[in-house]
Amino acid sequence: MAIDVRAELSNCQVSPQKARLVLDLVRGKMAEDAISRLKFTNKKSALPLSKLIASAVANAENNFGLTAANLYIHEITADAERLRKWRRFGARGRFKPILRRSSHIKVVLREKA
C-alpha cells in the first residue's frame, strides 16, 4: 500500500495559469530533482513551489519515516482562489477593472516502489 504525503499552499499570489507552467516542469519527477530544477527556474511561482515540495519531503521524513531519495511527485495541481477586484480610474469618469488572481497549490508525494 502506497502512502500519500500531502502538502498545500493557500493564497499563493500567482495566477493559476502562470503557476501551471511551472508545475508542468516538475510533474512526475523525483522530489529532490524537482527542488533543484526549481532553484534555477526564472518564474515567480518557482520559489513558493520549491518551498512547498521541501515541506512535503520534510513531512514524509518526520511523520511517516520515508527517505527523501525515494519520493516522487505523484500529483500536483494549481486551483483558482477567489478573485480580488480592484479598479483604476480612467478617462471621462470611467474606471478600469483589475482582477488580481491567486491560487491554491496542492502536492502529493509517493514513495517509488
Distances (CA, A) of 95 to 22, 84, 86, 90: 33, 16, 10, 5
- pLDDT band of 113, cuts 50, 70, 90: confident
- Answer whether residue 15 shows pLDDT above 90: yes
- Give the rounded distance of the alpha carbon of 26 from its chain centre: 10
Distance CA 43, CA 21 (A): 9
Residue 80 backbone dihedrals phi, psi, to 5 degrees: -75, 140
Tell me if residue 29 falls in helix, strand or coil. coil
Instruction: Name which CATH class applies to 5-111.
Output: alpha beta
The answer to whether the beta carbons of residues 100 and 86 sit under 8 Å apart is yes
- Answer whether residue 7 shows pLDDT above 90: yes
Residue 97 backbone dihedrals phi, psi, to 5 degrees: -75, 140
- Answer whether residue 103 shows pLDDT above 90: yes
Which grid cell is 56?
512535503
User: What radius of gyration do the chain's Cα atoms show?
Assistant: 17
- Answer whether residue 2 shows pLDDT above 90: no
Q: Share the mean pLDDT of the chain.
A: 95
| Percentage of the chain exceeding pLDDT 70 | 100
**Model confidence over 37-74: pLDDT tens digits?**
999 999 999 999 999 999 999 999 999 999 999 999 99
